[in-house]
Amino acid sequence: MILFPAIDMKDGRCVRLRKGDFSTAHQVANSPLEVAKQFAAAGARWVHMVDLDGARDGVRKNFPLIYEVIRQSGLNVDLGGGLKNELDVITVGEAGVGRMVIGSAAVTRPELVQYALRQYGPEKVAVGIDCLNGRVRTAGWEEDSGLDYLDFAAQMEKLGVKYLVYTDIAADGMLSGPSYEQLAALQKRVSCSIVASGGVTTLDDVKRLRDMGLYGAIIGKAYYAGTIDLSEAVREAGEQC
């Protein structure tokens, strides 16, 4: 199982949120590049980065720092947040991201997902499903789309999407454990490779997600709070290619 240690960017700072609430943002590190290099030293091969400002207001103020990570960290960057149009897709695609994660726009403009798939292929594109109480949220998690997350996942699979990043907003940043039941239901509904996001807290969480056969898991607050040793988690997760 691939581990994706996470760096969320807001106003040029590395931050964490609780349940996606922007008012809870607190700085957890100084330099995203330094943190990414720490991830690499622990054995990670990917980093999950989110441009929170891009997700909320479409302003890509964090991109210079994200670009440094892409070019200098030695990690594959899984990047989400604010990919709203074709220019955004081209910008991050040509910057050399390992995979772009399209979130809200996959709901409002599914044709953008198709465009990204045509331009860069299914290995370079993921759709982010941000879920609260079984319904997909958009606009930086602040709006309810009214869509059931399982139905939406099936729609994305029909478009040719191979990778889904499933985030349980209620668990995000809470150190409460992943949403195993929702993840299992998603596995039954689609054949996509699924990345679990939200609530991963302990080494036992990593083991359980691995044993479920998930493609990947995002480790966010648990790393910064010290509840997971990333090197140990990588060893348990297995091959990181």
Q: Residue 95's domain is classified under what CATH number? A: 3.20.20.70
Q: What is the DSSP string of the chain?
A: -EEEEEEEEETTEEEEEETTEEEEEEEEES-HHHHHHHHHHTT--EEEEEEHHHHHH---TTHHHHHHHHHHS-SEEEEES---SHHHHHHHHHHT-SEEEE-HHHHH-HHHHHHHHHHH-GGGEEEEEEEETTEEEETTTTEEEEEEHHHHHHHHHHHT--EEEEEETTTTTTTS---HHHHHHHHHH--SEEEEES---SHHHHHHHHHHT-SEEEE-HHHHHTSS-HHHHHHHH----
- Residue 56: what pLDDT? 76
Number of domains observed in the structure of the chain:
1
- Residue 69: what pLDDT? 97
Measured distance CA(9)–CA(166) in Å, rounded: 19
Tracing tokens 């309810």 back to the chain, one arrives at: 144
Record the pTM. Answer: 0.93
Query: End-to-end alpha-carbon separation of the chain, Å?
Result: 9
- Residue 59: what pLDDT? 73
Catalogue the active-site residues: 8, 130
- Residue 192: what pLDDT? 98
What's the one-letter identity of residue 225? A
Per-residue model confidence as pLDDT tens for the chain (241 residues): 999 999 999 988 888 777 566 677 778 888 999 999 999 999 999 999 999 887 777 778 899 999 999 999 999 999 999 899 999 999 999 999 999 999 999 999 999 999 999 999 999 999 999 999 889 998 766 788 889 999 999 999 999 999 999 998 877 666 678 999 999 999 999 999 999 998 999 999 999 999 999 999 999 999 999 999 999 999 999 999 7
Q: Are 127 and 164 in contact (CB under 8 A)?
A: yes
Measured distance CA(178)–CA(211) in Å, rounded: 14
Domain that holds residue 223: 2-237
- Residue 141: what pLDDT? 67
- Residue 8: what pLDDT? 93
